[in-house]
Amino acid sequence: MNFNFRLPTLKVYLIIFSFLSVFFLTVCKDNNESSTSDTELTELQLRALKISSPMPDNAFLEGMDQSDELIELGKMLFHDPRLSKSGTLSCHSCHNLATFGVDNLPVSIGHGWQRGVFNSPSVLNAAFHKSQFWNGRAETVEQQAGMPILEKFEMASTEKHVIEVLSSIPQYVTMFGVAFPNDAAPVSYKNVETSIGAFERTLITISPFNDFLAGDENSLTDLQKDGLALFIETGCHTCHRGQVLGGEIFAHFQTPAERASGNISPGRFEITEREADKHFFKVPSLLNVVHTYPYLHDGSIWDLSQTIVLVAKEMLNKDLTNEEVDLLTEFMGSLTGVLPNETMQLPLLPASTSDTPLPDFSL
């Protein structure tokens, strides 16, 4: 073979060398910076990392199907009111993504204007909770997703209705086939749950506190840092700990409204029928807590400061000063995060057909 290259001049070598030098200097500088921040975490960051940890990209478990098609299908089902008996209520009705995954009501309004039993928790970051609902009656977001659809005072539907609706709409039938390629009958209630769950596993909000945990010492204000330190010193993290600062354990709790009325919810006892679980409720997550009012399992308190005072007294027997409450509230402001734009985008739902069951407003 004959290589017919003109050899570059020394000048060209020098130019190439200069470019490479600048390139490597830049790369090394970046590496250097990030390794510095890893090794030089502040004492407060190290303490915070003992009670929580930075968010992963999603909440999928190992081996779970995470295909885009599955997640998109789940998003459509999450927003589709045809899953309800009346054709007016969807998951989104009570877990409004425009209001941080809640409806900001003491209890939700469902089929026939019936009221729910407990305050609707946020669907954001829900997959990180060790169990679902205030009384933990579902383990995963997939199990959870299927339940309000069938609940008489929520979406009031039946599995049969849901499957009839979805089977009657060609675009859904195709999408289920693509999302569940190994399934002989892909349009199943179980797969509805799996799809909605898959979408919910992507509903992760990234807050300034998360950035602080991830190494950015400047993502919190000085007041928020003082609030975080106080949060740990006060012992709030005893219950509000883990990935979402809550959602891990159950704790004994009666609200002032329950005590006043004498109508005290049995809580987790209703599920386990164990005396030890009487009046026990899942500790709620504190992520986006500024936006997830009203608070407590009966949604009976609207004010965050008031809730902080009450819970500190009830759970830790601590009387907080006004200044302490303000600092804790400041810290909680750093727990607000946003969803990615593409997640906030409404899906366009496929049209019904003549086979689609009609909405039924009756009780």
| Contact footprint for its own copies (CB under 8 A) | 79-82, 86-88, 93, 96-100, 103-105, 109, 112-113, 115, 290-291, 293, 302-303, 338, 341, 344-349, 351-352, 354, 358-359, 361
CA nearest to 72, candidates 338, 347, 339: 347
Output 86 or 243, the one with its CB closest to its own copies. 86
Q: How far is the CB of 327 from its own copies (least distance, A)?
A: 19
Output 30 or 303, the one with its CB closest to its own copies. 303
Q: How far is the CB of 90 from its own copies (least distance, A)?
A: 9
Dihedral angle sign, alpha carbons of residues 137, 142, 145, 150 = negative
Q: How far is the CB of 93 from its own copies (least distance, A)?
A: 8
Distance of CA 248 to CAs 62, 86, 239, 243, 251, Å?
20, 35, 8, 9, 10
For 196-259, the DSSP string reads HHHHHTT---B-HHHHHHTT-GGGS-HHHHHHHHHHHHHTGGGTS-TTTTSSS-EEE---HHHH
The phi and psi torsions of 132 (rounded to 5 degrees) equal -115, 160
Output 23 or 361, the one with its CB closest to its own copies. 361
Strand partners, 295: 301
Output 58 or 352, the one with its CB closest to its own copies. 352
CA Rg value for the chain: 25
Is 323 part of the annotated catalytic residue set?
A: no
Output 19 or 302, the one with its CB closest to its own copies. 302
Q: What does the alpha-carbon distance between residue 244 and residue 256 come to, in Å, rounded to a whole number?
A: 26
Q: What does the alpha-carbon distance between residue 149 and residue 144 come to, in Å, rounded to a whole number?
A: 10
Output 170 or 235, the one with its CB closest to its own copies. 170
CA nearest to 239, candidates 286, 183, 176, 195: 286
Residue 211 in contact with residue 52, Cβ under 8 Å?
no
Output 88 or 234, the one with its CB closest to its own copies. 88
CA angle 337, 342, 348 (to 5 degrees): 130
Q: How many CA atoms lie within 13 A of 335 on its CB side?
A: 28
Q: Which of 142, 154, 200, 330 is catalytic?
A: 154
The phi and psi torsions of 138 (rounded to 5 degrees) equal -130, 150
Structure token pair of residue 199: 């979408």
Q: What does the alpha-carbon distance between residue 28 and residue 300 come to, in Å, rounded to a whole number?
A: 55
Residues designated catalytic: 154
